[in-house]
Amino acid sequence: MDDNPWLSLDYLRRSGDEVLDHLLIHVSLTLQAVAIALAIALPLAILARRLPRLSGPILGVTGVLYTIPSLALFALLAPYTGIGRTTVLIGLVAYALLVLVRNTIVGLEGVDRDVVDAARGLGYSRTRLLFTVELPNALPSIVAGLRLATVTTVALVTVGVVVGYGGLGQLMFRGLQSNYRAQIATSSLLCIALALVLDVLILLLARWAMPWTRTRRRASRAASPESAA
């Protein structure tokens, strides 16, 4: 019998508390990084939409940040921000910005101009127009970017092991060093499961926040030739 299996309940029984601690770190890093990135990306995208001449520089800067190799970025930040959570968070936020900014801009640009003109005709201010018309109609694109950024962040958290704060990446690294297959497999499967769970949660929250999309889908199905037949 293999003394070092890939899947081992015995490993979970012996190291369950350690696995849970690293999983919670992984979850908190992911959620905090995505929340901060979204808080930065939304104003940047709105600014780029309001002032088109800034769109290129904003997308350019976020694009450059996204192309920096993660190991290099964490290593470059460490001398200035130290070893640990802060360095990892800065890196994760930097990587999530491009997707969130780009998708938000695309969503805002895709809002039906007739709807916008109608709102303006009703006397909507720019602020009211943004929050009651443009952003709600841009939500599908924003949510798509949020889902992609979240799943990507779950994977990138593991790279934080280079500065000593990688969540489940710590277990993966130790497993690779000791060739402990159960540790590698457990941490990898938990990363995959976490990405799937967060993706589904975002999708469910989006459906709750956008009830009009369900109405449109039902109306579309009812009007389709197949349903009429």
Contact 103, 43 (CB under 8 A): no
pTM given for the model: 0.86
- Asked whether residue 9 is domain-assigned, the answer is no
How confident is the model at residue 1, as a pLDDT?
A: 40
Provide the domain limits for residue 48: 16-219
**Residue 52 token pair:** 């088109």
Does any domain span residue 190?
yes
In single-letter form, the type of residue at position 157 comes to: V
Q: Which two tokens stand for residue 72?
A: 């290099």
Task: Give the position of tokens 């990587």.
Answer: 95
Rounded distance between C-alpha atoms, residue 195 and residue 214, angstroms: 25
Residue 44 in domain: yes
3 within domain boundaries:
no
Number of separate domains in the chain: 1
Structure tokens, 116: 């916008």
With respect to residue 229, please indicate whether it lies within any of the assigned structural domains: no
At residue 100, the pLDDT reads 96
At 49, the amino acid letter reads: R
Asked whether residue 92 is assigned to any structural domain, the reply reads yes
- In this prediction, residue 14 carries a pLDDT of 85
Instruction: Find the angle CA(34)-CA(95)-CA(25) to the nearest 5 degrees.
Output: 50
Q: For residue 203, give every residue at least 6 positions away whose Cβ sits within 8 Å of its Cβ, in sequence order, or none.
A: 143, 147
Give the per-residue pLDDT at 212.
65
Q: Is residue 90 part of a domain?
A: yes
Say which CATH number the domain at 44 has: 1.10.3720.10
Asked if the structure places residue 1 within a domain, the reply is: no
pLDDT in tens, the chain (229 residues): 456 687 778 888 888 889 999 999 999 999 999 999 999 999 999 999 989 899 999 999 999 999 988 888 888 888 888 888 899 999 999 999 999 999 999 999 998 888 888 988 888 888 888 888 898 899 999 999 999 999 999 999 999 888 888 899 998 998 888 888 888 999 999 999 999 999 999 999 988 887 766 655 565 555 555 555 4
